[in-house]
Amino acid sequence: MEGIVFDELNKIHILDPQIFDKTLQLKNEAGQFLDAVTSFQKTVDDLIGAAEKLGEDVEKEKLKAIGSRNYIQSLSKQRETLQSELQSLIIEKSLEIERLRIEHESLLRTQVEQQEVLDALELNA
């Protein structure tokens, strides 16, 4: 009968043993391919996961960076206010020291005057 063949082990085959072998081979190869695709899929998934995580991290870092930038900006403003505060304090202090300098000067002048009186008295004595 055409189409029915026996192999070496005397098993009945509808297909030509050669084709059967080929088919088996194909099946195996298909299985391998499937594995490969699955593993590829996994790798890609991993990759996407990693990329997403990276994205999140980047986003986080970005926010952080914006925050820091704002902070730095405000810091410089803070510094300005602090500077102006200190500046006004310096002005107050310098006014105070100027007052004291004038007072000191007047006392020195008095000292000179008194010394003059003393000298004059010593001359007379």
Question: In the beta sheet, which residues pair with residue 5?
Answer: 13
Asked if 75 interacts with other proteins (CB under 8 A), we say no
Say what the alpha-carbon torsion angle 93, 94, 99, 103 is, to the nearest 10 degrees: 100
Q: What is the CA radius of gyration of the chain?
A: 50
Closest-CA residue to 112 (of 104, 50, 42): 104
For residues 56 and 62, what is the distance between their CA atoms, to the nearest angstrom? 10
Site mask, other proteins, residues 35-74, x = CB under 8 A?
Answer: ----------------------------------------
Closer Cβ to other proteins, 61 or 92, answer by number: 92
Size of the site for other proteins (CB under 8 A): 19
Closer Cβ to other proteins, 68 or 94, answer by number: 94
Site mask, other proteins, residues 84-123, x = CB under 8 A?
Answer: xx--xx--x--x--xxx-xx--xx--x--xx--x---x--
Least distance from C-beta 97 to other proteins, angstroms?
10
